[in-house]
Structure 1
Amino acid sequence: MPLPFLTADRAFEAADDVALPFDDRDRWRRPYRPGPWRVGAAALLLLLASYVLFAAVIIALTGTPSSAGVVFGIALVVISASLRLLRMGVWVSAQGVRHVAFFATRTAPWERVVAVRTTQQPVRWLGLPRTVQGQALVLVRSDRPAEDLAPLMTTHNADFLGRPDAFDRAADTVEAWGSENGRG
């Protein structure tokens, strides 16, 4: 079963000289692959879900169906959490830029985007409260003050920790989408 959200399109990596290598620009795409920290955390959650599913089968065979259903529901929550974790990130299309977080998704149409730029600033390390100096891709919108918006992606998040070249390629691609489709 293919998981299109797990891998970035190969054309982003193959075509370094072309910033927007797609004919179908209306399809939402992630311009980078998920990082090893994100994939590892999702794999651990799926491993936990397999044990919980196994427990649900054992409970269904030996216990009551209602208790097996509760444990099965817990397994489904863990599986959906791991899939949402893999889906998190920045997605681009001709309509705009979409920032998918764990609990929320924000979409900014290109018409409202003033600039997409990389800045040097304190960033959160793996989403934890600890901050370190790093780079962040910031989206400046015309309908919101710049200080209200969180960075789209940073050099120290789960996708780019220890991969500064991947961050540079992804930031350049998002900036190219912004300059091609919007004012930024």
Structure 2
Amino acid sequence: MTIAPDHARRDALQYQAMRDIVERMQDSVPGKLEITKEGIVHDMMSPGGPHELTAARVSRRLEKVMPDDLLAHTGTPDVEDPHEGVMRHPDVMVIAEVDMEVEGSFDPRTLIAAIEVVSRSNPDNDWVSKVRDYSLLGIPVYVIFDPRTGTGAVLSDIHPTPDGPRYATRKEFVYGEDITIAEWTISTDRLPRYA
């Protein structure tokens, strides 16, 4: 008699082991730890002024045009789907206040949009890995601001592919243009650039 290995159980145990490592190490290492399909990602540098100012300005601009029961949240916790083996921490999360009334990580499927400001130290994390992970997690809109180049992109319309769900629509922009995130249009004027 052959007993097939329980891949789901092994994957769940592996994810929980990575989750435990992240919890133990996060406060003692610089930067940010996240879990992707490939394993733990460490963005070595703590975000600096232009990164944080971009996130704050985008958050403020969104909250001025969104209904009062929605937030463009820049704090913790993470968004997590243990079944997919992914835990991420968007720089800005557009989410209903009611969906924040939970213990632990947010359900990624409650997010209206995830917004990232590209890291100077690990840009592929935002432009490649998170594009894959956020569509996998079912986050309907993913927006990337890149202070290195003064450009960005709004990704939407998740559709199935042989490699898993992917964003079908990509609208690129340059700083200074108005962009639409879900239902709300904001300016990208006066966003800082990396020196």
TM-score category (smaller protein): under 0.3
Going by fraction, where is helix more abundant, 1 or 2?
1
**What is the TM-score normalised by the length of structure 2?**
0.25
Query: Highest CA radius of gyration, 1 or 2?
Result: 1
